[in-house]
Amino acid sequence: MKREHSFLLGATGAIALGLSPDYAAALAYITSEFVPFEWAILTAICITSPLLPVALVAAHIFTGMRIHWLLASFLFGLIVLFGTLASLVWVAVTFVLSLSLAHGMTLTLGLASSLFLVSSVSSADARLWFGWVPIGLAGLSGLWSLLMAGLVVLSSIVIADGKPFCVAQASGNRVTGVAAVRGFALYATEATHGLTFEFHAVLVVEGSEQKYNWSYAKHRFVETGYPTSAMEKCTPVEGFWITAGLF
**Closest to 180 (Cα-Cα) out of 218, 204, 161, 153:** 153
Cα 77–Cα 83–Cα 85 angle in degrees, nearest 5? 105
**Angle, in degrees to the nearest 10, between helices 97-117 and 69-94:** 170
Under a CB-based contact definition with an 8 Å cutoff, are residues 65 and 26 in contact?
Answer: no
**Closest to 143 (Cα-Cα) out of 184, 97, 186:** 184
**Closest to 115 (Cα-Cα) out of 74, 145, 144:** 74
Give the pLDDT confidence score for residue 187 in this predicted structure: 81
Instruction: Name the burial class of residue 54, with classes exposed (0-12), middle (13-18) and buried (19+) by CB atoms within 10 angstroms of its CB.
Output: buried
Give the pLDDT confidence score for residue 190 in this predicted structure: 62
Give the pLDDT confidence score for residue 53 in this predicted structure: 96
How many whole angstroms separate alpha carbon 114 and alpha carbon 112?
6
How many whole angstroms separate alpha carbon 199 and alpha carbon 213?
6
What are the structural domain ranges in the chain?
A: 3-146, 149-244
Please list the rounded mean pLDDT of every run of 10 residues in the chain (247 residues): 91 94 75 82 84 96 95 96 88 72 91 96 95 96 96 96 91 85 83 57 92 92 85 89 86
Give the pLDDT confidence score for residue 195 in this predicted structure: 45
Give the pLDDT confidence score for residue 212 in this predicted structure: 94
Give the pLDDT confidence score for residue 35 in this predicted structure: 81
Give the pLDDT confidence score for residue 46 in this predicted structure: 80
How many whole angstroms separate alpha carbon 164 and alpha carbon 184?
26
